[in-house]
Amino acid sequence: MESMKNILLAVLLAAGIAVPAAAQVGNVYIHDPSTIVMSDGKYFTFGTGSGGLMSEDGWTWTDGAVRPGGGVAPDVVKIGDRYLVAYSAGYPGTEGKTRGVVTTMWTKSLDPKSPDFGFSEPELVAWAGDDEDCWAIDPAFLLDPTTGRLWCSYGTYFGAIRIVELDPATGKRVEGNEAVDIAIDCEATALMYKDGWYYLLGTHGTCCDGTNSTYNIVCGRSRSVTGPYLDNMGRDMLEGGGRMVLSAGDRATGPGHFGLYVEDEGVEKMSFHYEADFNRSGRSVLAVRPLLWKNGWPVAADPFKEGTFEIESERRGYSLELAVSFVRLQGAMMRGFGRNSDGPVVVIEDQKLEDVVEGWPEGDIDIRVGDYMFRPHQRWTVTAVPDAGGYLGAPYYKIVIAGTERALAATSDAELTAVPKFTGAPEQLWRIEQLTDGTFRIMPKSVPGHEGEQFAIVCTGDSTVALGKYDFNSDNSKWNFRDR
């Protein structure tokens, strides 16, 4: 099968088709995925219809998740040591006929192999009559981190998006609670809270049209969970407003059904489906992207693309490099501080790998941080490693000096080195995650002797580097991949 995979890859590359490393692998076929949650050490998401997907590492997915009830577009939230699952049933009608209900049910585990797996009887929490301006499908939860109150939005293009309050202890509708209209002309909503703002995300555009689907994810924000939710133009989502979070691109159309997964402070990821993945027969697939925040608005990050980069520290702006002797360029020395010269203008070639590599030690080479001079010991090629697994939303990467197999690696004393040849060992595999501010953290899959502990590449000084604890509030932990 591996050879078949490589053949397919070769064919696609030969056809000039970029294959992003940011597509999940395995059985990724799902529509209307619920917010990804972790249970029993595994990731789970559920879609329309019965069942769902599960993953050990967040990169390779299989079927096998079990959700009773069928229906459409479920959502999941963890409350205490239990999981509350909502799903909806309904069907589109004409002549004023639309129906839908939202139900919730509990389980202590989402893993069918767990003795704690087992769902409670569904409770009806929201509905719409067959001639109302609402269709009660596509539920989404928000457990308000500021109050502990539980909210559920629902609705689709037919009329309004509504929000109701549920009891986080029972999953039932709070007695006497009245539904509030918060948006129109969207569906697949989601709610989240950040820095004093409530965000309502919804999907605009045409659903379910395969490669022509114009589905896209937009959002508005409010100081109150019940709205009004305004977009960046001050337009109410009850007036159709919404600021773009993600639209089609990277050979896939129809992003929809946003879900937030907070991995760590400053490490946020959004799950969604593409209605058509052009590299997978136009099928509907699960996708995960880093979520960035720009001026108070969520934006989907572009998928990390393989390439050759400077790896620049956010701390000082210096760059990751091999600790080798600097080789000065010869000739073309400074000519009088830019004064006019009668000599011809010539192009100076870059320093080449073969100009310097023989001077490098043959064994392991230390890593440091230095002024970026686009020299061979500062240029790193980053490529995904097939079949090495991954983490939520991305595969592991190898990071080698461009033109060589000399690979960045973690050492047993939590330092960095460059080994002569990439072997695929866990300490040579790197987890690269874009942070909410657009910078990256870089973490080894494993540090010898420290398995199970998490390390990131951190600056210890302007010009020195080691492995240490990731801290979003320190620029020591942040890096930029630049091609210059």
Tokens of 369: 């941080």
Cβ 75 to another protein shortest distance, Å:
15
Cβ 437 to another protein shortest distance, Å:
30
Please tell me the distance from the alpha carbon of residue 393 to that of residue 407, in angstroms, as a whole number. Answer: 23
Compare residues 99 and 441 and give the one whose CB is closer to another protein: 99
Compare residues 74 and 376 and give the one whose CB is closer to another protein: 74
Compare residues 90 and 395 and give the one whose CB is closer to another protein: 90
Cβ 68 to another protein shortest distance, Å:
6
Decide if 245 contacts 201 (C-beta within 8 A): yes
Cis before residue 228, ω within 30 degrees of 0?
Answer: yes
**Three-state secondary-structure class, residue 4:** helix
Cβ 36 to another protein shortest distance, Å:
22
Cβ 178 to another protein shortest distance, Å:
11
In Å, what is the CA distance from 121 to each residue of 105, 124, 141?
Answer: 6, 10, 19
Please tell me the distance from the alpha carbon of residue 90 to that of residue 167, in angstroms, as a whole number. Answer: 24
Please tell me the distance from the alpha carbon of residue 462 to that of residue 391, in angstroms, as a whole number. Answer: 29
Decide if 466 contacts 416 (C-beta within 8 A): yes
Cβ 122 to another protein shortest distance, Å:
5
Compare residues 131 and 453 and give the one whose CB is closer to another protein: 131
Compare residues 230 and 260 and give the one whose CB is closer to another protein: 230
Q: Which residue has the tokens 């977009």?
A: 231
Cβ 406 to another protein shortest distance, Å:
52
Binding residues for another protein, per CB under 8 A? 48-49, 68-72, 87-92, 94-96, 99, 101, 103, 122, 124, 127-133, 157-159, 184-186, 204-206, 209, 212, 214, 235-236, 239-242
Cβ 32 to another protein shortest distance, Å:
11
Paired strand residues for 459: 465
Cβ 299 to another protein shortest distance, Å:
20
Secondary structure of 191-227 as H, E, C letters: EEEECCEEEEEEEECCCCCHHHCCCEEEEEEECCCCC
- Within 13 A of 347's CA, how many CA atoms are on the CB side? 2
Paired strand residues for 345: none
Cβ 304 to another protein shortest distance, Å:
32
Paired strand residues for 193: 198
Q: How large is the C-alpha radius of gyration of the chain?
A: 25
Question: How many helices (DSSP H) and strands (DSSP E) are in the chain?
Answer: 2, 35
Tell the burial category of 344 from Cβ atoms under 10 Å away from its Cβ (0-12, 13-18, 19+): exposed
Compare residues 95 and 362 and give the one whose CB is closer to another protein: 95
Compare residues 48 and 284 and give the one whose CB is closer to another protein: 48
CA pseudo-torsion sign 344, 345, 346, 350:
positive
Compare residues 111 and 138 and give the one whose CB is closer to another protein: 138
Compare residues 243 and 441 and give the one whose CB is closer to another protein: 243
Q: Compute the 3-state secondary structure of the chain and give helix, strand, coil in percent, each to the nearest 5.
A: 5, 45, 50
Compare residues 103 and 417 and give the one whose CB is closer to another protein: 103
